[in-house]
Structure 1
Amino acid sequence: MTRLFGTDGVRGLANGLLTPELALKVAKAAAEVLAPPSGNRLLAVVGRDPRASGEMLAAAVTAGLTASGVDVVDVGVLPTPAVAFLTAEYGAALGVMISASHNPMPDNGIKIFAAGGRKLDDDVEDRIEFAIAEPRLAQSPTGADIGRVRQAPDAADRYVAHVGKALTGSLDGLTVVVDCAHGAASAVAPRIYAAAGATVVAINAQPDGLNINDGCGSTHMDDLQKSVVEHGADLGIAHDGDADRCLAVDATGAIVDGDAIMAVLAVGMKESGSLVEDTLVATVMSNLGLHIAMREAGISVRTAAVGDRYVLEELRAGGFALGGEQSGHVVIPEFGTTGDGVLTALLVMGRMATTSKSLADLASVMTTLPQVLINVKVSDKSAVASAPSVLESVAEVERVLGDTGRVLLRPSGTEQLVRVMVEAEEPDLARRLAEDLASRVGQV
């Protein structure tokens, strides 16, 4: 059977693959695994992004949890990191976020957090999948044992106060344009930045349930780039639909990606003595330029598999203080258990205010090497990695690049695709080597 959980929860076309019936089953199974009967009433936090199908799926999840005897705190529309924070804040046994992150509106997803707001390990997800396939036969609660639902009018205020505590000093004098992607950041992100002292210009912050990520946000940054220049702003911030990621734009309109953001924060944390063991955790997809910049700054880089939960695992294992992905998921364990785009943006602006430097100056610590990524459709992605012809081709590319570039083959987590990535000092060389290797991969 195909695995239900992907890189970040259960995701698919809402009312297509991801039906209310499936959402209810996932919720009941999650309750069975994460909130087993204990004699005490257990609590779950449920939140969502603004997409229309979230209303339907949140109702199904709430039904599944309450049918399992779990009380539900409905926090409404809030970012994913807010739901993770509130799961810990309310002492809940689990949290559920209904969101498909940066995916277009027709999609949706179910992200589950364990107690403390922590993402699930693979084995816990496997147990939930087994519970879906083989539900327990114990009698369902009835009468007063059925779970109850309550609203949480203080939820947003709690999250806003929590994130605000991460900033020391003020953002007075900074002007920021924030693209909220018509998503979960629309209400809280401008509020948080303004409370910190910044002058805020909010764009794409009128969610109607249908326009989330529609030509805006972290996957479509043209509007933000233009708006930053037009307003003469110091920077721009782009969130995705559930605000667990953040990309930036400097005052000239140039994009500052997740790697550069991590470089800015890592250098600042090293200077302040808060970068544990002077170590940054990144993924295998981070640009070689980040590794070079960190080495020159006296910072070690540890790599994890793609996905912020794998970054989190590495952070927890080593007790490290900063990690993230090129896509803009940045995790700072001191302040959160998952990627938090609003927190990340606040700390980047704090670094600008503290140093009196522009974002372009701060980001110049890193030079991004040209990177070419080609998705190759294959019949059996698991066979590619061991194919002799592919191994020979990879070795040849590595000989050509030496220590001036990098090659990476990564099977997709959800499709029969192999992602071929090549980095080199010259873009033409990176393109040629990537195309040659992709051709060989496609022949397997």
Structure 2
Amino acid sequence: MLIQDILRRKRDAEALDADAIHTFMRGVTDGSVGDAQIGAFAMAVVLNGMNREEAIALTEATRDSGQVLRWNDLKLDGPVLDKHSTGGVGDLVSLVLGPWIAACGGHVPMISGRGLGHTGGTLDKLEAIPGYNVTPDDGVFRQLVKDVGVAIIGQTGTLAPADKRLYGVRDVTATVESLPLIVASILGKKLACGLDTLVMDVKVGNGAFMPTAEASRELAEAIVAIGSGAGTPTSVLLTDMNQPLADCAGNALEVHEALRLLRGKGRDSRLYQTTHALATEMLVQVGLANDAADAATRLETALASGEALERFSRMVHGLGGPSDLAERPEHYLAPAPFATDVVAPRAGTVNAIDTRALGLGVVELGGGRRNAGDAIDHRVGLSHIAALGQRVEAGQPLLRLHAASQADAEAIRRQLDAAFTLGEEGSVAPASPIHATLRKEDLS
């Protein structure tokens, strides 16, 4: 089958069969398809779309372009499952969720990414821990998944290599914004991990990856249908990102917050509620809990007993980090040299938060990357961020700013102050952090 014929058919808005899509993606992987042809294919998909069968085939071809992890030889004593998020600000769910699920009998081979734009990255947070190796060899990774139940690492070159090449071309050809291409990129990497089930966290709000609530729901529905169609039971929680998920944003600060939750603190927080909801969905979907009530009991036991924190500590140590991080986090997670409050100019209620602006503020401080090769200052960030609906008095902190220097802090103070909209009277009741849960049976 000629690549040119595949491109012509997609250009003319014809549906491609699975053989054509797999042929094209094999060429992407082995280099026989050139960048110009990849760009032509991506543009044709952007302009003409893909039907559901095409999108499933593209996802399967992306998954199968490299190593697909198999776990049968390890004789695991529980199911293999994972969660993925479209990213946000103050979203440290993965750091808590992975070990929490492991403490409930699951095995979580979590392949995570770095920060993108205004959103923080799980790998960047973990690299705030001295010695933590996000690129271990395959043997170490697999053994940790078996013995500890969780290992959070970065994508290896052997998992879904076609996606890396396809995304690189999409990024420079204005073809990123295509639902089937987005879903194949997300799911291709995750499904290559050999999962029994996948739960996705799709953000909704002004700090979300997708520009509107409608677009977020459309993405969620596509993920459920395509993931399940590709053979991995997949469900999605739509969760709120109209304010930072935690009351902090910044790599070392978020590791501190993860340890706090794993110690059983902060149970009234939006972060806890979201993590608990995702964990409940994972346990029920894979059969580790009979229903939501049973999942809640199991999760409480794992947290109260200290087992979830212990799993996190063992994972950190197994990947090169200190064995006593949980006992001495201040020793390993250095604070920023300068801290100052950004205060309310007048009394009022926090009626709106520009979440994206707060995330970009962390990037401006050096806690994220403007360019792929930039170094990160893991110490910097924001903490004690005021919540939607919170009443503040004039001069009361809206957040605490952690910077490398006073000059760095002053350079973005106005930007951070402008991220908060204060109302004169009354209060705004913030939305529930969980907007909806979508499963295959919910789709029309």
Same fold (TM over 0.5): no
TM-score by length of 2: 0.25
* Structure showing the higher strand proportion among its residues: 1
* Bigger relative contact order (CA 8 A; separation at least 6): 2
